[in-house]
Chains A and B, each alone.
Chain A
């Protein structure tokens, strides 16, 4: 018998198999273990899924947290760009131009509060914000006033903003104090006469081109400049 024949016969004789019934019995024993032990693949898949979900939640909550934390930030602070980005995002997701302008009006209040917070601690930044606020006045006031859905909001907002700006002017260094007062008067000039009249009636001692009681306490050069820059005769 050759080696090949021997191997072929050896293999044939050595082979035996389980019956199907026998295998079922054996599988039953194994299954009892497997049913209580998820596969490594399951754990890895489950772990990966859980990891992705966890990371997504962390990113989501972290983003939300950073955005939330940024809302009180001021120009020059690390989170301020996030605050401005979130404002742009709010404007971007509005469906129509009126809604977008309403959001813009709302955010002007933030700018004047920023000026109020910055006039002492960072006057340069306060001026930058004032520049931006003023620029927005020039660009949008006529737009807001021409839209019946916005004009009321705008007048109310301007009035409230003015109170904040006045407060800021009280504390501001002279150059910024002057700047703010000019801006306030400029706002008046841009509003319709009817509103100006209401304001004049409601706010005693503060009329276009005239100094308030508070103004009279200011240094003479401020008053002088204020008067000269007033649009009133």
Chain B
């Protein structure tokens, strides 16, 4: 019933404790958040755990979200960005126990592993500096604006433009599409 609602309306429901509204947000944004982590970590299972953790933090901290300060998507990616930074720094910040159960079906894992193009892109992204990789994922894979990316990564818009330009140049040298 809440599937037709916009994010801001769903957020209001989550704020009043609606788990079903969170489920709708989860179904809507899981793919993007998972891809964000998938391309920036070396482990697809870790990506799943981090993606799950984003939604747990959304659930816990939803009352701190202020729509006047930006879209829900930007706020959610900001959470994801902070989790990723913690991960890079070696902090164990996961709420759900890793590997507590196998959540992915074998078919889906095989499909992911056997996709040469995905593996190729992931392999080349792994060779980029962390901030280059993140700009590529947010700007091009997830269609975010330079302004949104600069807010999420806390970099100037000019800096984001420079990074995206260099990242694309490097990827074009390595990936033949």
Contact = CB atoms under 8 A, between A and B. Distances in A.
Interface of A: 1, 3, 6-7, 9-11, 13-19, 21-23, 25-27, 29-31, 33-35, 37-45
A32 to B, nearest CB: 9
B61 interface: yes
B60 A37 contact: yes
Given A30-B55, A35-B19, A25 B103 contact: yes
Closest 3 CB pairs of A and B: A42-B17, A41-B15, A9-B177
Given A22-B108, A29-B103, A34-B59, 10 more contacts: A6-B171, A13-B121, A14-B118, A18-B30, A27-B26, A27-B27, A30-B26, A40-B61, A40-B63, A41-B16
A18 B108 contact: yes
Contacts of B19: 31, 34-35, 39
A119 B10 CA distance: 71
Contact of A39 (B14, B96, B108): B14
Interface stretch (B31-39, B68-76, B149-157): B31-39
Contacts of B112: 16
A29 B17 contact: no
Interface bracket on B? 35 or more
Contact of A19 (B17, B39, B48, B108): B108
B104 A6 contact: no
Contacts of B60: 37, 39-40
A79 B104 CA distance: 72
Contact of A17 (B31, B62, B96, B101): B31
A35 to B, nearest CB: 7
A22 to B, nearest CB: 5
A37 B59 contact: yes
A33 B96 contact: yes
Interface in B42-75: 48, 52, 55-56, 59-64
Nearest to A8: B140
Given A1-B177, A10-B177, A15-B141, A34 B22 contact: yes
Contacts of B23: 27, 31
Nearest to B112: A16
A40 B108 CA distance: 33
B103 A26 contact: yes
Contacts of A10: 121, 140, 171, 175, 177
B3 interface: no
A6 B17 contact: no
A18 B176 CA distance: 26
